[in-house]
Amino acid sequence: MYINVAYIDDENPNLEDLSVPLRINNCGYYRVHTTPVIETPHPEGRNDYQLLYIAHGKGHFYFKNTGEETIVQKGNMVLFRPGEPQVYYYYAKDKTEVFWVHFTGSEVEKYLDHYELPKDANVFFTGVSPDYPWIFNQIIRELQLQRINYEEMLRILLRHILLAINRYVKEGKQIKSDLVNEIERAAHYFEENYNKDISIEQYAEEHLMTVNRFIICFKNIMKMTPMQYIMSLRITAAKGYFDSTNKNITEVASAVGYDNPLYFSRVFKKYTGYSPSEYKKMKSSDYHVK
């Protein structure tokens, strides 16, 4: 279990503030790989809004007190408005990674309308993109450090997320559904075989597409190239091994598809900002910062 969170007000994290147009109350990131289950039971809802992004794995949600489970897969956003029941669970077996932000303000609905977020659905697909984790991490860092003008920067970053969602939805409407299904099948194949030697050229040929067309279509829908997607799967799996096992760097590199541990170490640091040895030192305890 890895946690990275930040609050603007520890004493009142469930704040409704209509004196400002837009304000972020708190935000964070959970990687649930070892703790059996993380539960959020707020059947009465909260006073502010919450936007969640499932970056990996899935979440188990119960909307509007119906008692019916909705499984939200990676690549989806979840939006809760004030007063809406918030009951959901993350399980270690799902290897869930989720980003979230709580926000309030007098003009929130205006922004949601402007960026065309749904009014009648809590869940909507926004794609698997490295942009979302990057922006969420920027929000977390800004709120933790609270540098000069941080509140304005937080508003800009939140609107950046809403803009990215709007762009994805509008661009997605221009792509044929059968092509979306084909790319989703490719993504599923990569998820099942990321630790093997995957040939993008061979996969494209077997599915009657040129390599260039397959790469372009994959990037248009998933917001990253096939190899970037495979690399993200490998790094996520590597972090899971470091979190929950005593495997050494060579063993982890081999387990996620890298024959050369030195090359794996370079890729890992480029993707995470930490070398595998640095990451291993941090894995023994959760990280929690105001």
Largest CA distance in the chain: 58
Higher pLDDT, 2 or 80: 80
Higher pLDDT, 271 or 136: 136
Query: Are residues 137 and 101 in contact, defined by beta-carbon separation less than 8 angstroms?
Result: no
What is the model's pTM?
0.67
Higher pLDDT, 167 or 103: 103
Distance CA 270, CA 161 (A): 23
Distance CA 106, CA 200 (A): 49
Give kind and range of the element (H or E) at residue 263. Answer: helix 261-272
Encoded amino acid at 49, one letter: Y
How confident is the model over 131-141, as pLDDT tens digits?
Answer: 899 899 999 99
Residue 174 has pLDDT above 90, yes or no: no
Residue 284 has pLDDT above 80, yes or no: no
How confident is the model over 234-246, as pLDDT tens digits?
Answer: 999 998 888 888 8
Give pLDDT, residue 126: 86
Rounded to the nearest 5 degrees, what angle is found at the Cα of 227, between the Cα atoms of 200 and 138? 160
Residue 13 has pLDDT above 70, yes or no: no
Fold topology of 2-172: Jelly Rolls (2.60.120)
Highest CATH level, class, for 177-282: mainly alpha
Region 200-204: what's the mean pLDDT?
A: 92
Question: What are the sequence ranges of the domains in the chain?
Answer: 2-172, 177-282
* Least-confidence region, from 16-20, 90-94, 180-184, 259-263: 180-184
Provide DSSP, 130-182.
THHHHHHHHHHHHHHH--TTHHHHHHHHHHHHHHHHHHHHHHHTTS-HHHHHH
* Least-confidence region, from 7-21, 24-38, 139-153, 166-180: 166-180
Region 168-192: what's the mean pLDDT?
A: 77
Give pLDDT, residue 29: 94
Region 253-267: what's the mean pLDDT?
A: 93
The pLDDT confidence band at residue 101, using thresholds 50, 70 and 90, is very high
Region 164-171: what's the mean pLDDT?
A: 83
